[in-house]
């Protein structure tokens, strides 16, 4: 049974820092207002939809067309992708990007440390998830809001056999104009070009610039990426741990128009730089073991 907003507030609210509320559509979310930043996290998908450090415009992009309905993913912010990425191989009826972003997660704990605020969410295997993926697991997602935004996804195998999965923190970043932006940190890395028939290519030494539909899985890389957002006079950094792949995505014009939950003219204001283990880097976990993937998002002037 879902926990009421009042119960969540009584158990996990922190005065002047974290409050739980129903949004205008009735979905439950945590609203964080710390000395260093504001943020919002929905229980649907444990989905961070907003992060705004003091003195900065929002760091995360959120589509104005997002459904905000149970059973549908939220378009923007940081969707948690598990246990497969994209369409599920051999099952066209399975939800795109797995089921984690479609489930309501439990709040496990909240805490403050100095000016940082941490929330921990949990999702466990259920009859609903086993109908789609017949394995035991526990996901624990830790969100720390401070001068930076830190997120960590722990997967624990509670099954009697090994499990293999893909995972991603499918982060949408807000930009003044993607056509003026660039991404550094992936020079000389091999990638799968999903917008060009899954061809394998090599990124040159120059920064990535978006000039058309872009959907690339960069392989065997744990490097920090820097997104240059000149229109907002800032650099967004994405550092990560235990993630061996990075996805860079922008739908451009035609794909944006084809998505019901994405505005036709919103594509210039976003780019996805995703922390993930997908494709060649799917994770295999033995029974009783766990894997934790982390990302840390920071903002600097210039």
Task: Report d(CA 244, CA 222) in Å as an integer.
Answer: 5
pLDDT for residue 205 = 96
Q: What is the pLDDT of residue 147?
A: 96
CA distance 194 to 238: 22
Burial of 204 (0-12, 13-18, 19+ CB in 10 A): exposed
User: Is the pLDDT score of 18 beyond 60?
Assistant: yes
Q: Provide the mean pLDDT of the chain.
A: 97
pLDDT tens-place string over residues 270-298 = 999 999 999 999 999 999 999 999 999 99
pLDDT at position 187 over 80: yes
Measured CA to CA in angstroms, residue 37 lies from 48, 55, 92, 97, 240 at distances of 13, 9, 40, 29, 21
Confidence (pLDDT) at 165? 98
For the chain, how many structural domains are there in total?
Answer: 1
Q: In this structure, what CATH number is given to the domain that contains residue 152?
A: 2.70.98.10
- For the ranges 84-93, 129-138, 145-154, the lowest mean pLDDT is seen at 84-93
Task: Report whether pLDDT(36) > 60.
Answer: yes
| Distance of alpha carbon 144 from alpha carbon 118, whole angstroms | 4
1, pLDDT greater than 60: no
11 versus 90: the higher-pLDDT residue is 11
Residues with catalytic function: 170, 274
Q: Containing domain of residue 216, as a range? A: 5-301
Q: What is the pLDDT of residue 248?
A: 98
| pLDDT more than 90, % of the chain | 97
Give me the pLDDT at residue 302, please.
Answer: 83
Instruction: Give dist(CA 200, CA 218) in Å, integer.
Output: 10
Q: What is the pLDDT of residues 45-95, one digit of tens each?
A: 999 999 999 999 999 999 999 999 999 999 999 999 999 999 998 898 999
């Amino acid at each position: 049974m879902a926990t009421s907003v009042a119960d969540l507030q009584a158990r996990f609210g922190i005065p002047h820092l974290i409050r739980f509320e129903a949004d205008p559509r009735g979905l439950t979310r945590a609203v964080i207002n710390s000395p260093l930043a504001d943020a919002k996290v929905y229980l649907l998908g444990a989905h961070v939809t907003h992060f705004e450090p003091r003195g900065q415009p929002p760091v995360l992009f959120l589509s104005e067309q997002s459904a905000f309905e149970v059973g549908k993913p939220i378009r923007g912010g940081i969707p948690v992708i598990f246990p497969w990425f994209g369409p599920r191989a051999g099952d066209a009826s399975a939800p795109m990007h797995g089921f984690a972003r479609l489930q309501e997660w439990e709040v496990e704990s909240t805490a403050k440390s100095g000016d940082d605020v941490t929330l921990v969410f949990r999702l466990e295997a259920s009859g609903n998830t086993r109908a789609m993926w017949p394995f035991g697991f526990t996901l624990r997602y830790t969100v720390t809001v401070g001068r930076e935004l830190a997120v960590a996804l722990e997967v624990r195998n509670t099954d009697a056999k090994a499990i293999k999965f893909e995972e991603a923190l499918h982060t949408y970043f807000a930009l003044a104009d993607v056509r003026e932006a660039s991404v550094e940190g992936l020079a000389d890395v091999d990638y799968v070009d999903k917008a060009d028939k899954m061809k394998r290519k090599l990124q040159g030494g120059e920064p990535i610039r978006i000039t058309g539909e872009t959907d690339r899985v960069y392989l065997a890389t744990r490097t920090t990426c820097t997104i240059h957002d000149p229109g907002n006079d800032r650099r967004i950094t994405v550092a990560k741990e235990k993630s061996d792949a990075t996805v860079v995505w922008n739908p451009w014009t035609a794909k944006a128009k084809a998505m019901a939950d994405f505005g036709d003219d919103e594509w210039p204001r976003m780019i996805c730089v995703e922390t993930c283990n997908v494709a060649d880097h799917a994770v295999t976990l033995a029974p009783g073991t766990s894997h934790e993937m982390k990302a840390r998002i920071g903002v600097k002037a210039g």
